[in-house]
Amino acid sequence: MSGKCCFFTISVIYAMLFLYSCDDSSPTLPDTLSPPQRVTFLVSTSASEGGLITPNQTIQSGRLVSIVATPDEAYQLKEWKGNCGSFSKDHLEVSFIPSGDCEIEAIFEKMKDPTTPIQTEGFTTDKNKTRIALLVIDFPDTSSRAEFPTVSEIEKALEEGVALDFFKTNSYGRFEYEISGFGPFNHEKNYVDLEDIGDVLNTQSIQINGFKEDDFDVFALIPRTDKKYDGAAAAPFWNLSVNGHLVGNKKWKLVNPLFIGDFSNAFVQKDFFVESYPLTIFERIFIHELIHCLDIGTHAKSKTNGEYYHYQPEIPNNGENLSLDYGNQFDIMGGNNYGYNLNVAFRDQLSWLSTTQKTTIMEVGRHSVTVYPINDSENVVAVTIKTPHGDRYYIEYRDFDFWDQRSHLTDSHSIMSNNSQGIMVNWLDSWGTPHLIDMSPSPNYTYQGDHFDIGSPDVRDVVLKPGMTYDSPSVKLSNVVANTDKSYTFTVDVKP
Ligand SMILES: [Zn+2]
């Protein structure tokens, strides 16, 4: 069950990307009647000093129009005026169906005492860390609210728990965040009435005195609901309104609910209910979405071709397996059934690797290289190969440390054992997305507790072990030797 949630969870970001990138049109009502002639009405808009309003709108008869008032800093909406209808000042966006030409005016006023801070604690931010505004959102239909963690408990869990340790380890101490918690705020809608997960952001209830957008890099919205689960997601272009001002769409926002599919409490629950796991479900999803917010817009994929290598002609019925989203089962940005560590290709894109941790091979010919366990902060952990053919590879070694321990499936121990006996090879597509490739191709397979349908790639035993050779048109990998210090040495032949 949880696996499914996880898959659904992470798939939402793509749905969102497409959904929201074109969502700038006014909402419309279905054309239930075809009027004999199409009539248009003019909605004239104006605003007082202290803010802006949507420009004049020409609207076809029967259509819904939306008008948005945007107060300047230190201003708020005082009232809506005009003959289009009567609207509450609590709504910065109003929608109506005009019955003729009409006028609407937004009247703004200075906020009473905008400098009085209500929540100043934790508000001082450190520019060397990624600064996250944690916004906790309640809903009218949230029940048993007492069971939910408080804002400060969530803040504390993310700042003092293992999620931050994960980032410190995976970034070798180069990435940290700090969290400022705000709220809880009360969403105007019931959670069950939200149209999708992004609708969590559509609330005017977020009021933070003294708020400055520039104080934060990422906005994390935490819905406190037990009603349903719409996954988690991250996107930069969602509109978020704080004090009636839109937070710029250059800032990433994530949504991560506290409850998941079967209404289990993600805040306390470990994956698959296995207590020994390092992360709670909430922490694991938070890490995944936060990595998206660092501009990693894709997932750790896999590239397999049944019992053949990926560069050979594709087998019939291979489905999406030549570029399978979430296909890397050993990665927090992939399916993460057998590991949590972030692959070295993404780490490099995040500038987490020092020059001493990376060996880059570009010259045609033979090279001998050594790679150490992925979380070693002093030795080479990434071997990158760029071939004249334009192929790019990132090679790493997993010793199945604390972060890669996932022992919920009956085959977990053999998978961890098999895949710690050699090097893991990622191939990069032209967008820089790593695809885990199988060094010992075998027929497609369906996992226990799998995210995927029949025909999944077999990545149970993917590494290149001593005695094995990978010989693609652009590069050959061979002579794999396990050293006594946990490192692996191997030969790279870059072909002309
Ligand atoms: Zn994702």
Helix (H, G, I), strand (E, B) or coil at 289: helix
Distance 198 CA to ligand 1 centre (A): 14
Distance 441 CA to ligand 1 centre (A): 27
Distance 392 CA to ligand 1 centre (A): 23
Distance 297 CA to ligand 1 centre (A): 8
Distance 292 CA to ligand 1 centre (A): 7
Q: Do the beta carbons of residue 267 and residue 231 sit within 8 Å? A: no
Q: What is the CA radius of gyration of the chain?
A: 26
Sign, CA dihedral 468-472-476-477, equals negative
Distance 136 CA to ligand 1 centre (A): 21
Distance 235 CA to ligand 1 centre (A): 10
What is the reported pLDDT for 433? 97
Q: How many CA atoms lie within 13 A of 422 on its CB side?
A: 24
Distance 288 CA to ligand 1 centre (A): 6
In this structure, the dihedral spanned by the alpha carbons of residues 42, 48, 52 and 57, taken in order and rounded to 10 degrees, is 0
Helix (H, G, I), strand (E, B) or coil at 255: strand
> Order of strands across the sheet with 218-224?
177-186, 130-138, 218-224, 252-255, 233-235
Distance 325 CA to ligand 1 centre (A): 10
Amino acid at 379: N
Distance 5 CA to ligand 1 centre (A): 12
Residue 184: asked if its preceding bond is cis (omega within 30°), the reply is yes
Q: pLDDT tens string for the chain (496 positions)? A: 222 233 333 333 333 332 222 222 223 222 333 334 558 888 888 888 888 887 788 887 777 777 878 777 777 888 888 888 877 776 776 777 788 888 999 988 888 754 433 333 444 555 579 999 999 999 998 876 557 899 999 999 999 989 999 999 999 999 999 999 999 999 999 999 999 899 999 999 999 999 999 999 999 999 998 887 778 999 998 999 999 999 988 899 999 988 766 667 788 888 777 777 888 989 999 999 999 999 999 999 999 999 999 999 999 888 888 999 998 989 999 988 888 999 999 999 999 999 999 999 999 999 999 999 999 999 999 999 999 989 999 999 999 998 988 766 677 788 888 999 999 999 999 999 999 999 999 887 765 555 444 456 777 789 999 999 999 999 999 999 999 999 999 999 999 9
What is the reported pLDDT for 449? 52
CA distances from 119 to 187, 208, 211 (A): 19, 7, 9
Query: Nearest Cα to 285, choosing from 263, 301, 269, 303?
Result: 269
Q: Do the beta carbons of residue 120 and residue 211 sit within 8 Å? A: no
As a whole number of angstroms, the longest Cα–Cα distance in the chain is: 84
Alpha-carbon span 160 to 68, nearest angstrom:
40
Distance 182 CA to ligand 1 centre (A): 25
Q: Do the beta carbons of residue 241 and residue 273 sit within 8 Å? A: no
Distance 414 CA to ligand 1 centre (A): 27
Distance 295 CA to ligand 1 centre (A): 11
Q: Do the beta carbons of residue 244 and residue 380 sit within 8 Å? A: no
What is the reported pLDDT for 228? 76
Distance 211 CA to ligand 1 centre (A): 29
**DSSP one-letter string for 101-162:** -EEEEEEEEE-S-TT--S--TT----TTSEEEEEEEEE-TT---GGGSPPHHHHHHHHHHSH
Query: Nearest Cα to 465, choosing from 484, 439, 441?
Result: 439
Distance 298 CA to ligand 1 centre (A): 7
Going by C-beta distance under 8 Å and a sequence separation of 6 or more, which residues neighbour residue 412?
Answer: 338, 406
Distance 416 CA to ligand 1 centre (A): 24
Distance 49 CA to ligand 1 centre (A): 42
What is the reported pLDDT for 38? 57
Distance 4 CA to ligand 1 centre (A): 14
Element (H, E) at 165: helix 162-170
Distance 232 CA to ligand 1 centre (A): 8
